Amino acid sequence: MRKFLLKRLGVALIVLFGVSVIVFTLIHLQPGNPYLNMIDPSMSPDVVEQKLRELGYYDPIYIQYMKWIGRAITGDFGYSTQFNAPVFSIILDALGNTILISVASFIVSSVLAIVIGIITAEKSGTWVDYLVTVLSFIGISIPTFFFALILIKIFGYDLAILPSSGMETLTESYTGIAYIFDVIKHMILPVTVLSLTQTATLIRYTRSSMLDALSQDYMRTAQAKGLTRKQAIWTHGLRNSLISIVTVLCLQLPTLVSGALITETVFVWPGIGTLNYNAIMNRDYMLIMGITMMIAVVIVIANILADVLYAVVDPRIKVME
C-alpha cells in the first residue's frame, strides 16, 4: 500500500505540474494588463512602464512561471491585484463557505441516489423505474445555472419564502442559534441545486450496479437460504455494489466542486465560485492560478481516494504494489 501511494503521489505531482504550466501559459497569453487595478490612473506613462518592469510584466513567460512556481512550492501563491492580499489567505477565507454547501450537497445526493437507485433496481421494468429514469435524464440535461434560476424565481420571488442570494441576511444582526438558522435558510436553494443535479447522475450508476448484482448467483443463494428479496438486496447486493458506487462518489467530488463554482455565482454565495468569477472579471491572474490549482488538487486526491477505497470496501481487492 505504501509503495502504491508513493507511486500515485509521484504521478499526481507530474499531473499538477503539467496543469500549472498549461493554465499559467493560457492565462498570461491573454491580452490586457493584470496590474491595472494596482496602478494610480494619475501616473505618467513612463512611471507606469517602470513599475510594470519592476513587477516583471515584460519578462519572458517561462521566467514568470519559474518565479511563480518557486514561490508556490513554499506556499506563496502570489498577491491578489484585486484584493491587495495574499492569494492563499483569500482562498482560505472563501474555502470554508464552499465546503459547507459542498459537503451538505454530497451527503444529501449520496443518500438519495443510493436509496432511489436500489429501489429502481428492485422494481426494474415497473412504472417507478421508468418514472425515475425519465426524471434522471431530465436532471442530467438541465444546466445547473438554469435550474438555479428557476428555483430563485419560484421560491425567492413568486413565493418569497426563501432568500435568493447571499449567505446571511444583511439587514439583520443575528447571533448564536438564530445566525445558524439564518445561514441554513440561505443554504437551502444552492444545496438543492447541487444535490439534485448530482443525484440525477448518481442514480443511474447505482441502478446499473445493483442490476448487475441482482443477476449474480450469490443473490439467488441468499434467497434460497431464507432471505427475502429485499433483505438480500440491502445486505448482499448493496455490499457488492459498493465498489462501483464508491468509485463514482469519489469521482463526483471534483464535479461537485466545479458545480459549486456555477451555483455560488448564481446565488452570490461567498465561496470559491464567486471568488473565481470576480478574479476572472478583474484579470486577477494570481488568484485564478491559485483557485485552478486548488481544484486540480481536489481532482487528484479524489482519484487516489477512489483507488484506496477499493480495498477498504472489498478486502478481496489488493492494491498493486
- In the chain, what are the domain boundaries? 12-76, 90-313
pLDDT confidence band for 68 (50 / 70 / 90) = confident
Report CA-CA distances (Å) from 150 to 135, 145, 242, 262: 16, 9, 34, 14
Higher-scoring residue by pLDDT: 211, 312: 211
User: What beta strand segments (E) does 62-148 contain?
Assistant: 79-80, 85-86
d(CA 127, CA 121): 12
Q: CB pairs under 8 A, 24+ apart, for 207-211?
A: 207/117, 207/120, 207/121, 207/124, 207/129, 207/132, 208/244, 209/117, 209/241, 209/244, 209/245, 210/117, 210/118, 210/121, 210/122, 210/237, 210/238, 210/241, 211/121, 211/124
Q: At what angle do helices 176-214 and 238-267 cross, to 10 degrees?
A: 140
* pLDDT value of position 127: 85
- List, for residues 16-56, the tens digit of each pLDDT value: 888 888 888 888 777 666 666 666 666 677 776 777 777 67
What average pLDDT does range 142-170 have in this prediction? 86
Distance CA 295, CA 20 (A): 11
Identify the pLDDT of residue 62. Answer: 85
User: pLDDT tens for residues 72-83?
Assistant: 888 888 888 788
Which residues 6+ apart lie within 8 Å of 44 measured at CB?
Answer: none
Would you state the pLDDT for residue 40? Answer: 64
pLDDT reported for residue 241: 72
Please give the pLDDT value at position 280. Answer: 82
Give domain 90-313's CATH number out of 1.10.12.10, 3.40.50.720, 1.10.3720.10, 3.40.80.10: 1.10.3720.10
Enter the DSSP assignment of 86. E
- For residue 317, pLDDT over 60 is answered with no
Q: What per-residue confidence (pLDDT) applies to 310?
A: 67
pLDDT at 264 over 80: yes
Question: What is the identity of the amino acid at 21?
Answer: V
Give the pLDDT score at 163. 87
- pLDDT number for residue 78: 82
The pLDDT value given to residue 37: 62
Q: Which long-range contacts (CB under 8 A, 24 or more apart) does 7-16 make?
A: 8/304, 8/307, 9/304, 12/300, 12/304, 15/296, 15/300, 16/293, 16/296, 16/297, 16/300
Residue 133 has which C-alpha cell?
429514469
Measure the CA–CA gap between 70 and 59, rounded to whole angstroms: 15
Q: Which of 38-47, 69-78, 222-231, 244-253 has the highest average model confidence (pLDDT)?
A: 69-78
SS3 268: coil
| pTM for this prediction | 0.77
pLDDT at position 173 is 78
pLDDT tens-digit readout, 102-151: 888 888 888 888 888 888 887 877 888 888 888 888 887 888 888 888 99
